[in-house]
Amino acid sequence: MSTRALFQPFLLGGLTLANRIVLAPMTRSRAGIERLPNALMAEYYAQRSTAGLLITEATTISEQANGWNESPGIYTDAMVEGWKRVTSAVHAKGGVIFVQLWHMGRASHSSFHQGALAVAPSAIKINGDFIHTPNGKEPYEVPRALETHEIPLIVADYKRAAERAREAGFDGVEIHGANGYLIDTFLQSKTNQRTDAYGGSVVNRYRFLKEVVEAVSSVWPANRIGVRLSPNGVFNDMGSADFREQFTYTAGELDRHGLAYLHVMDGLAFGFHGLGEPMTLDAFRKVFHGPLVANCGYTQETAEKAVAEGRADLVAFGRPFISNPDLVDRFRNGWPLAPDAPMSAWYSPTGADGYTDFPARGAE
């Protein structure tokens, strides 16, 4: 493949992507307290629709899944109607968009749930300073360990969210299994100390994700479903000594499903737990034979190299897309990138400020 590898089209689940550049899922907190996708969000995604694939910000599958101020959901009719506005705006620009399905698990707080504790595989608290809640900064809490009989109910929530995603006009879904949220905490021995069928071995710790994939696959063809993993990540107090064994097994099992892609946060820009050598794309290529999406800290140059050498099929960019809605054109033409947006703009519910007000080149 040429040095213009990022600009080659790619066939994904019967969809022809215009290039190998992916808009990474990034929580931006513009859905309001009702968690409804809106016209501003439609504008934001349409501005970035030249990416080969857009993956939405993490989107909660139920009330129980919530835990981030003003992030969107996909569990009510009104939410579906809001997302229709987004998907229509993206499709009108020729874009392809998947929704990322999210359950925050222990990274939530009772303030989001009328005093009920967040749920997790085991009652193990995040070791961190505080969480942002509707009441301001509050300390992390010890979550409630899910009863075995409750787990299929959450699997059913994923299925219903997948159904609503189809109704909303998405082209596919991504299951968020990364960054210390519910699925990731089931996968990892640090946070899963269960003794039932969902814990105690790499096989059992994978069971919850397996059941979620199977449930979502009853709604969507497998080649329209992606899964995101973060084997090297430390976010939300993650990192397990047996991470390599767990994620090698998990990727190999996911390979059996014929998924649209496996989205791996292989880069270390988001933090590294340091429990051995980091897992690379090469390690995943050995056990997962479908498309691989690379993520975390890539530049145009390192992304070109990863795709040209066959280590990745697609590369997701997060932070550069915030202040460069026309990132694809800037990469293609060798134009300089706009300065990174300040962190204060990333998650602030400030309307267009720091969200849709970054101009494309030529409109600056």
Token pair in block for residue 225: 């479903």
Q: What was the pLDDT predicted at 343?
A: 76
Query: Mean of the pLDDT values across residues 119-144?
Result: 96
pLDDT above 90 for 270:
no
How far lies 297's CA from each of 23, 142, 200, in Å? 13, 32, 33
In order, the DSSP letters of 174-242 are EEE--TTSHHHHHH-TTT----STTSSSHHHHHHHHHHHHHHHHTTS-GGGEEEEE-TT--TTT---TT
Are 119 and 105 contacting, i.e. CB atoms less than 8 angstroms apart? yes
pLDDT above 50 for 170:
yes
Mean pLDDT of the chain: 95
Q: What was the pLDDT predicted at 342?
A: 78
Are 88 and 97 contacting, i.e. CB atoms less than 8 angstroms apart? no
Q: Give, for 264, the enclosing helix (H) or strand (E).
A: strand 261-264
pLDDT in tens, 211-260: 999 999 999 999 999 999 999 999 999 999 999 999 999 999 999 999 99
126-148: string of b/e by CB count within 10 Å (b at 16+)? beeeebebeeeeeebbebbbbee
Nearest alpha-carbon partner for 58 in 46, 69, 48: 69
Query: Mean of the pLDDT values across residues 111-124?
Result: 97
Q: What was the pLDDT predicted at 363?
A: 55
Q: What was the pLDDT predicted at 141?
A: 98
Q: What 3-state class would DSSP assign to 21?
A: strand
pLDDT in tens, 41-51: 999 999 999 99
Query: Mean of the pLDDT values across residues 97-106?
Result: 98
Catalytic, 158? Answer: no
Query: Mean of the pLDDT values across residues 26-33?
Result: 94
Token pair in block for residue 337: 């990138």
pLDDT above 90 for 3:
no
Nearest alpha-carbon partner for 94 in 53, 49, 42: 49
Q: What was the pLDDT predicted at 344?
A: 75
pLDDT in tens, 55-93: 999 999 999 999 999 999 999 999 999 999 999 999 999
Query: Mean of the pLDDT values across residues 139-145?
Result: 98
Nearest alpha-carbon partner for 264 in 202, 177, 185, 183: 177
pLDDT above 50 for 100:
yes
pLDDT above 80 for 95:
yes
State how far the Cα of 96 lies from the Cα of 198, in Å rounded to an integer: 35
In order, the DSSP letters of 117-166 are PPEESS-----SS-EEETTEEE---PPEEPPGGGHHHHHHHHHHHHHHHH
Count CB neighbours of 227 within 10 A.
Answer: 27
Token pair in block for residue 259: 């998924």
State how far the Cα of 33 lies from the Cα of 63, in Å rounded to an integer: 12
pLDDT above 60 for 1:
no
Q: What was the pLDDT predicted at 254?
A: 98
pLDDT above 80 for 109:
yes
pLDDT above 90 for 340:
no
Which one of 45, 140, 181, 198 is the catalytic residue?
Answer: 181
Are 230 and 184 contacting, i.e. CB atoms less than 8 angstroms apart? yes
* Domains of the chain listed by start with CATH number: 5-346 (3.20.20.70)
pLDDT above 50 for 2:
no
pLDDT above 80 for 349:
no
How far lies 187's CA from each of 100, 213, 281, 351, in Å? 18, 14, 19, 36
